[in-house]
Amino acid sequence: MKFLIAGLGNIGNEYAHTRHNIGFDVVHAFVQKHKGEFQEGRLAYVSEVKWKGKKFICICPTTYMNLSGKAIKYWLDKEKVSLENLLVIVDDLALPLNKIRVRPTGSDAGHNGLRSIQEILGTNEYAKLRFGIGNDFPKGHQSDFVLGKWTKEEEPLVKLKIEKSVEVIETFATQGIAASMNQVNNQTFSL
């Protein structure tokens, strides 16, 4: 069994550990937990992790967010991973900071990374882990908020949710999407 785990974000130090790069941070935490290492590959940083008889191809696209679909399509094809074994991790403004949502399908909800994937794959029928980042910003400042760093007050909760997201990836691979949804969709995370 082979899985493609794709965390969305933007490359470059100025984007590191911003809200928009939470996908990268979750995938890095998963790879680190399972003693993997990233290498620079075509269109993405790539790590191969083996766990419980399963192989995880973990990618952080180097295409920038709005071209994420190119990297995901390339690695799906190269590794011959079926669409139902793809999990994309993404930030979500519509969800409060204390929420994580897993869905087997669903629209891009205005997210440029998801829009790119949907356009290139020609479907929205793939699993998504949406990491709530909240929307606590003044009107017209969405971009600053999304590309901003977590506040000191937010960091402990973000760390907890990253750990929970790593568990969701493991559940997705061992028990399936329904079990992943049951694990987090109705939970409110707090310290």
pLDDT-derived band at 191, boundaries 50, 70, 90: confident
Reply yes or no on whether the pLDDT at 90 is more than 90: yes
Q: Which domains does the chain have, with CATH numbers?
A: 2-184 (3.40.50.1470)
Rounded to an integer, the average pLDDT of 99-120 is 96
List, for residues 144-171, the tens digit of each pLDDT value: 999 999 999 999 999 999 999 999 999 9
Q: Specify the higher pLDDT residue, 118 or 136.
A: 118
Reply yes or no on whether the pLDDT at 172 is more than 90: yes
Reply yes or no on whether the pLDDT at 27 is more than 90: yes
Residue 130, token pair as written in the block: 């949406």
pLDDT-derived band at 133, boundaries 50, 70, 90: very high
Q: Average model confidence (pLDDT) for the chain? A: 97
List, for residues 55-74, the tens digit of each pLDDT value: 999 999 999 999 999 999 99
pLDDT value of position 57: 98
Rounded to an integer, the average pLDDT of 22-37 is 98
C-alpha distances (whole Å) from 31 to each of 36, 48, 49, 104 are 5, 8, 7, 23
In the chain, at which residue ranges do the beta strands (DSSP E only) sit? 2-7, 39-41, 44-51, 54-61, 86-92, 100-103, 127-132
CA atoms within 13 A on the CB side of 172: 29
pLDDT value of position 167: 98
Residue 102, token pair as written in the block: 């897993």
Taking the alpha carbons at both ends of the chain, their separation in whole angstroms is: 35
Its pTM stands at: 0.97
User: Residues with catalytic annotation?
Assistant: 20
